[in-house]
């Protein structure tokens, strides 16, 4: 079993750390809100640390699951002076590829390894230990970390060098944005034309239009319930990262840019905490 530090106990990080502990790994956690770290430690027979540096002391593996680039950078800076040769850092935050490349270089200076390892699957995937992990970094570091990450994952893929995992996560979010908007427009069209949404979905869901979003979200969308899954605020953060990367690489993302603005409309209505399927609410208004 591995000695692990887990930094960041939000709706994703808390369950991921719990799965590590449940698999028998020795887990020390840190969170900005100390009380949350202590509560996690009591509930999961782990340990809580007061600082990131204290959390990583003696850990073979350091996992992070934070909010955005500045959060990752500040937490990394807090423990970097304490990094030891041989430690492996896996960052599960959805952040930029540029940051991943800089942190990998900084870790190498200490003889440590860094893997960018953003996840897909949402809160339900974290709770059920069924996340998909997209990784960037050196193959040797990935080979060491992969068996530990299986505690909370159903699929783990090394995409390429540092930053490749973050770029793959952008591909994931680009695809989701288009699918959700298409589903929202289809349901909106059905209602506008007096069709039973349930019968339409029954008819088309066995064909080429089928998607995870259709299977899992159409009913809550029609019912105007948007308290499931990934929040609009976080989706806009992820799309910002994707659009920034597109500008750098010269990729053209016209649909993603448009859907990002639709999500901005949802935010402007005060619903940034609704899930991503709330695009339908904008159309129905």
The CATH number corresponding to 3-161 among 2.60.40.10, 1.10.150.530, 3.30.365.10, 3.40.50.720 equals 3.40.50.720
Q: Which sequence spans correspond to the domains of the chain?
A: 3-161, 167-284
Write the DSSP symbol of residue 82. G
Percent of the chain surpassing pLDDT 90: 97
Residue 108 bears catalytic tag: no
As a whole number of Å, the CA-based R_g of the chain is 20
Four-residue CA torsion sign, 277, 282, 283, 285: positive
**Where do we find the tokens 């540096």?**
53
DSSP β-ladder status, 88-91 and 113-116: parallel
Q: How far apart are the first and last CA of the chain?
A: 53
CA distance 144 to 139: 9
Architecture of domain 167-284 in CATH? Orthogonal Bundle (1.10)
**Overall pTM > 0.85:** yes
Q: What is the pLDDT of residues 235-275, one digit of tens each?
A: 999 999 999 999 999 999 999 999 999 999 999 999 999 99
CA distance 32 to 37: 8
Q: In this predicted structure, what is the pLDDT of residue 229?
A: 80
* Nearest Cα to Cα of residue 147 among 103, 88, 94, 79: 88
Q: What is the pLDDT of residues 134-173, one digit of tens each?
A: 999 999 999 999 999 999 999 999 999 999 999 999 999 9
Domains 3-161 and 167-284 share a fold: no
The residues of the chain scoring below 70 in pLDDT are none
Beta strand residue intervals within the chain, DSSP E = 3-7, 26-30, 47-48, 61-64, 88-91, 113-116, 119-120, 131-136, 153-160
Tell me the HSE value of 163 on the side-chain side, using a 13 A CA sphere. 11
- Token pair, residue 195, equals 């069709």
User: Of these residues, 36, 108, 169, 225, which one is catalytic?
Assistant: 169
DSSP β-ladder status, 131-136 and 119-120: antiparallel
Tell me the HSE value of 156 on the side-chain side, using a 13 A CA sphere. 21
Q: In this predicted structure, what is the pLDDT of residue 120?
A: 96
Decide: helix, strand or coil at residue 169: helix
**Partners of residue 135 on adjacent β-strands:** 158
Q: In this predicted structure, what is the pLDDT of residue 228?
A: 87
């Amino acid at each position: 079993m591995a000695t692990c530090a887990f930094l960041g106990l939000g709706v994703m990080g808390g369950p991921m750390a719990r799965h590590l502990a449940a698999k028998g790994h020795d887990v020390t956690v840190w969170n900005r809100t100390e009380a949350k770290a202590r509560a996690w430690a009591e509930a999961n027979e782990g340990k809580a640390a007061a600082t990131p540096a204290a959390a990583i002391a003696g850990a073979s593996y350091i996992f992070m699951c934070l909010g955005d680039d500045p959060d990752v950078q500040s937490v990394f800076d807090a423990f970097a002076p304490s990094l030891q040769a041989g430690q492996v850092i896996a960052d599960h935050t959805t952040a930029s590829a540029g940051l991943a490349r800089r942190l990998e270089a900084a870790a190498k200076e200490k003889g440590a390894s860094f893997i960018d390892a953003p996840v897909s699957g949402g809160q339900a995937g974290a709770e059920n230990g069924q996340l998909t992990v997209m990784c960037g970094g050196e193959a040797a570091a990935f080979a060491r970390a992969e068996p530990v990450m299986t505690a909370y994952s159903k699929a783990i893929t090394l995409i390429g060098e540092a930053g490749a995992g973050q770029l793959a996560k952008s591909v994931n979010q680009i695809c989701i944005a288009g699918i959700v908007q298409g589903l929202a427009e289809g349901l909106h069209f059905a209602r506008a034309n007096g069709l039973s949404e349930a019968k339409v979905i029954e008819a088309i869901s066995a064909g080429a239009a089928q998607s995870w979003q259709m299977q899992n979200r159409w009913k809550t969308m029609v019912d105007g319930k948007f308290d499931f899954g990934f929040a609009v605020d976080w989706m806009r953060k992820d799309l910002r990262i994707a659009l920034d990367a597109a500008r750098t690489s010269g990729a053209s993302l016209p649909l993603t840019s448009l859907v990002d603005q639709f999500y901005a409309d949802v935010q402007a209505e005060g619903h940034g905490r609704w899930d991503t399927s709330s695009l339908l609410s904008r159309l129905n208004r």
